[in-house]
Amino acid sequence: MDRGLESSVASPWRPALIAAIGALLEIAVQVIGVGHGNPGILALVGTLFGSRAHLPAWIPQVRGPGYDGQFFLRLALDPFDIHRRAFGITFDTPYRAQRIGLPFLAWLIAGGQQHLVVWTLPLIEVLAAACIAGSVTVLAGSESRAALTGVAAALYEGYAFSYGRDLAEPVAAALMLLAILSIEHWDRPIVGTVLLLASTLTLETELMAVGALGLVGLARSLRMRRVDHRLIVATAAAISWIGWDAFVSHEVGHVTAAADLNANLGVPLLTQVKAVALHLHPSAADLAWLLQLGLLVLAVAITIPRISRSRAPSVIKVLFIAMIVLALLVGPADWDVESGFRQFDLVWISSLIVIGTTDNPPAWLPALGIAAWIGTVHLAVNTTAFLRRL
C-alpha cells in the first residue's frame, strides 16, 4: 500500500453528496429549461446522424451534427446491436461501437426498457460525480482540504459538457478511480481488474491508467524479484480490452483502434500552437476556451514541482505524466471549443490528487476549478438551448 493511503482518510460522503447535487442541478436545468421535461434532449441527436422517421418518438432532435451523446444513447437502446445503423442513428466512426460501458450500464439499470434509458443515462452521470468526489477525497488522504479536492475533481470544467450531454468521461473516470482504490487501498485486485476493464470499455483513454498500473507493477516486480499483483491486473485488463476491440472490429468490418488513432492523433506541439492561434479572437467562446486551457496549464505547472514529494499512489503519478504525453499527441478534434477539454479530465484529476497529497496544498486551485465548472455549465446550457431553437 502506498504511503498516502496508510493514514486515516477524510470522509468521502459529504464531497460525494455535494458533487452529485452539482451534477444533478446541471442536468435538471438542461432537462427542464431546455428539454421541457424530456431527458432525451441531453443526447443532442442531430439531423446529420439521426433519421426522424426511424428515431423512437420520445427522443427529440436538433438540427445539424448533434453531439457525441447521441451515439451512447444509440448503444443504450440495445447494447448488443453494434451495427453502424440502428434506431435511426448512424455512427459517425467505427470506434463508437467500442465504447460500450456507459450504454450497457444504462440499459442494465433500465431493465432493458428502451424508453427508460433516457433517464438512466443521466442517473449514472450523477452517480459517477459522487464516485469521483468520494474516491479522490480518499486518495487525497487525511489532508484538511481533501474534501474540497474531491468536489473539484468531480466538478471539472469539461464535465459541464459530459453531465449535461450523456457523455462517458465521468463514468470512465469513476470506474478507474474505484479500480485504483480497490487495488491500492482495499486489497481487492480481482474487483480492481473488473473495474479497470469496465473503465476501458467505457472510454479508451482509461487505457492510460492500465499502462500506468502496469509500469508500476513491472518496476515493483523487478525490485522485489516476484510478480507484483499490479502487473497481473494491468495485463489482464489490457488483454481483455484487446479481445473486445478485436471482436468489435470483426463485427463492424473496421479496425476500431486504428480508426480511433487516425481520428485523434496530431503533431505534438504544432497542433497545440495552431489551436491557441485559432482562438486568439475577442469572442466570448474563444475567451472561455483560453481560460479553460489556462486552468489546465496552471494545474500542470503546480503539479510538476510537487510530484516527487507527493504522497499520492505511484500509479497516479505515472498516470499524470502519461496524460501529459497523450495531451501533446492528440489531434485538432480534441482541442475544439465545444468540449471544455473534457478529454483531458485525467490530467486535472491526477493533478489534484498529486497536489492534494503534498504539504500545504493551495485551496484556491480546486476553488478556481469549481468556478470554471460553473462558468462552463452556463456555456453548455446556452449552447444546448441554441441548438434546440434551430
Residue pLDDT, tens place only, 195-211: 999 999 999 999 999 99
CA gap 265, 276 in Å, rounded: 17
Average pLDDT over residues 249-259: 86
Average pLDDT over residues 140-168: 91
Q: Report the greatest alpha carbon distance in the chain.
A: 64
CA gap 65, 258 in Å, rounded: 23
Q: Give percent of the chain above pLDDT 70.
A: 97
At residue 165, does pLDDT exceed 70? yes
pLDDT for 105 equals: 98
Q: Which residues, at least 6 apart from 135, have a Cβ–Cβ distance to it below 8 Å? A: 12, 150, 174, 177, 178, 180, 181
Q: Band of the pLDDT at 6, cuts 50, 70, 90? A: very low
Half-sphere exposure of 381 (CA within 13 A, CB side): 17
pLDDT for 142 equals: 64
Average pLDDT over residues 29-48: 95
pLDDT for 265 equals: 78
Q: Band of the pLDDT at 164, cuts 50, 70, 90? A: very high
CA gap 313, 48 in Å, rounded: 45
Q: Which residues, at least 6 apart from 333, have a Cβ–Cβ distance to it below 8 Å? A: 263, 264
CA gap 42, 48 in Å, rounded: 17
Which residues pair with residue 190 across a beta bridge? none
Name the domain count of the chain: 1
Average pLDDT over residues 358-385: 93
CA gap 335, 293 in Å, rounded: 9
Q: Band of the pLDDT at 333, cuts 50, 70, 90? A: confident
Average pLDDT over residues 333-362: 91
At residue 2, does pLDDT exceed 70? no
At residue 5, does pLDDT exceed 50? no
Write the single-letter amino acid at 22: G
Cα end-to-end span (Å), the chain: 54
Residue in 346, 353, 349, 342 with CA at minimum distance from that of residue 377: 342
Write the single-letter amino acid at 344: F
Q: What is the mean pLDDT of the chain?
A: 92
Average pLDDT over residues 131-139: 97
Average pLDDT over residues 117-143: 94
Q: Band of the pLDDT at 4, cuts 50, 70, 90? A: very low
Average pLDDT over residues 265-291: 85
To the nearest 10 degrees (0 to 180), the angle between helices 169-184 and 101-109 is 90
pLDDT for 143 equals: 62
pLDDT for 1 equals: 45
CA gap 351, 160 in Å, rounded: 19
pLDDT for 263 equals: 75
Q: Band of the pLDDT at 331, cuts 50, 70, 90? A: confident
Per residue in 16-26, pLDDT tens? Answer: 999 999 999 99
Residue in 107, 111, 108, 106 with CA at minimum distance from that of residue 124: 106
CA gap 84, 344 in Å, rounded: 27
Q: Band of the pLDDT at 268, cuts 50, 70, 90? A: confident
Average pLDDT over residues 171-182: 98
Average pLDDT over residues 342-350: 96
At residue 8, does pLDDT exceed 60? no
At residue 96, does pLDDT exceed 90? yes
Least confident range from 1-5, 352-356, 376-380: namely: 1-5
Write the single-letter amino acid at 208: M
CA gap 239, 83 in Å, rounded: 24
3-state SS record for 210-249: HHHHHHHHHHHHHHHCCCCHHHHHHHHHHHHHHHHHHHHH
Write the single-letter amino acid at 332: P
CA gap 50, 60 in Å, rounded: 10
CA gap 115, 173 in Å, rounded: 27
At residue 258, does pLDDT exceed 90? no
Residue in 203, 172, 192 with CA at minimum distance from that of residue 235: 192
pTM attached to this predicted model: 0.95
Least confident range from 89-93, 188-192, 287-291, 334-338: namely: 334-338
Per residue in 225-246, pLDDT tens? Answer: 999 999 999 999 999 999 999 9
pLDDT for 169 equals: 98
Within 10 Å of residue 345's Cβ, how many Cβ atoms? 25
Residue in 149, 195, 154, 152 with CA at minimum distance from that of residue 176: 195
CA gap 330, 225 in Å, rounded: 37
Its domain, for residue 105, covers: 3-389
